[in-house]
């Protein structure tokens, strides 16, 4: 028995494409928000903004961008900065691999490319931490290359414009969205058009209750015409985020606390933290702390009182940190799982980049 042939995707209607381009560019010219990275076409601030705004809201990211650019106004300044200084300015934004990759890429541009930035999307993708979306954004905005972008906002806009009924988590849907974005981007003002798509998704075509009545492309939006905009984009079911119970040791000696630096790769790489780990089934907090610290620092611990309990959510899991005041009963700490250890007075905490969960309990110490 033969399977029925799947209908092929209908080609995009060229007049509709032209109408979308004209309407979006006119709307963006009138309504684009005045954001600091939009005041220039220089690739460096455009690049920093695109990296910083991944997984970050504009209202949250803007002050970080301004502080970052004040500290590192050129790619050479960023390249010559120590990693700890870069991570400190990134502190609280999360997804720290973005900062580490940006720093590595800046060194490549400054030292191996003689300060010359890539000019094409393909060339941008040779740098650490830059994928197809980021490369397309930088190349189209800074170098006027007619290449597409596809972030979360653009996926939502295109899913509604073309009333896409398949999950955006599917590889086939992702390919279709890229093809649509590529077909839409114009040769003239590609950077403005890409920013218009992203801007539309951010302030008009929002995830919930989109403002269709003021949308510049509602006349060609298939979801609006069919009344399916609330059902688009289609998403797969998200699994429940697991929860982990952690214990943290605030080890104090002579008014100083012991901090460990996390390895450069992996979650929260390169940040400083108070040592600790996960509670195993059947363990008390004291038992877990002594086991974890023995493994991490090679010392025996004396566990004191509970200083703080902190709840924190990461993108795919949640944690509860139980922070205990502790001292060393015997042994000298050595970095077993960390790349370095430091005894730091409370007054110096502001010099170190901590994970956000650690920042939540510093005042309790």
- The residues assigned a catalytic role are 50
Residue 189's CB is within 10 A of a number of other CB atoms, namely 18
Cα-atom radius of gyration of the chain, to the nearest Å? Answer: 25
> Are 133 and 149 within 8 A, CB to CB?
yes
């Amino acid at each position: 028995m033969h399977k029925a042939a799947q209908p092929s995707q209908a080609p995009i209607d060229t007049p509709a494409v032209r109408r979308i381009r004209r309407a979006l560019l006119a709307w963006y010219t009138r309504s684009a928000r005045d954001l600091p990275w939009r005041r220039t076409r220089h690739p460096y601030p455009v690049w920093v903004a695109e990296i910083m705004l991944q997984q970050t809201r504009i209202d949250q990211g803007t002050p970080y961008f301004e502080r970052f650019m004040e500290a590192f106004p050129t790619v050479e300044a960023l390249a010559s900065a120590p990693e700890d200084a870069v991570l400190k300015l990134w502190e609280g934004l999360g997804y720290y691999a973005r900062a580490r990759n940006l720093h590595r890429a800046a060194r490549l541009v400054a030292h191996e490319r003689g300060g010359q930035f890539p000019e094409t999307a393909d060339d941008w993708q040779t740098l650490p931490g830059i994928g197809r979306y980021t490369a397309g954004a930088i190349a189209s905005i800074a170098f006027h290359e007619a290449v597409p972008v596809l972030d979360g906002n653009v996926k939502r806009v295109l899913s509604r414009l073309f009333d896409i009924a398949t999950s955006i988590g599917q590889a086939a849907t992702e390919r279709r969205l890229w093809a649509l974005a590529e077909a839409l981007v114009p040769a003239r003002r590609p950077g403005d058009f890409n920013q218009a798509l992203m801007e539309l998704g951010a302030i008009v075509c929002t995830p919930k209750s989109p403002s269709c009545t003021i949308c510049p492309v509602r006349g060609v939006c298939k979801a609006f015409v069919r009344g399916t905009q609330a059902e688009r984009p289609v998403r797969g079911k998200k699994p429940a985020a697991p929860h982990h119970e952690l214990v943290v040791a605030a080890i104090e000696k002579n008014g100083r606390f012991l901090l460990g630096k996390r390895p450069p790769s992996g979650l929260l790489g390169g940040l400083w933290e108070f040592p600790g780990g996960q509670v195993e089934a059947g363990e008390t907090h004291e038992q877990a702390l002594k086991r974890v610290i023995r493994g991490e620092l090679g010392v025996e611990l004396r566990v004191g009182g509970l200083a703080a309990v902190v709840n924190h959510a990461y993108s795919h899991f949640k944690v509860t940190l139980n922070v205990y005041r502790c001292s060393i009963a015997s042994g000298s700490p050595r970095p077993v799982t960390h790349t370095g250890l430091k005894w730091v007075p409370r007054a110096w905490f502001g010099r170190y980049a901590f994970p956000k969960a650690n920042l939540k309990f510093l005042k309790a110490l």
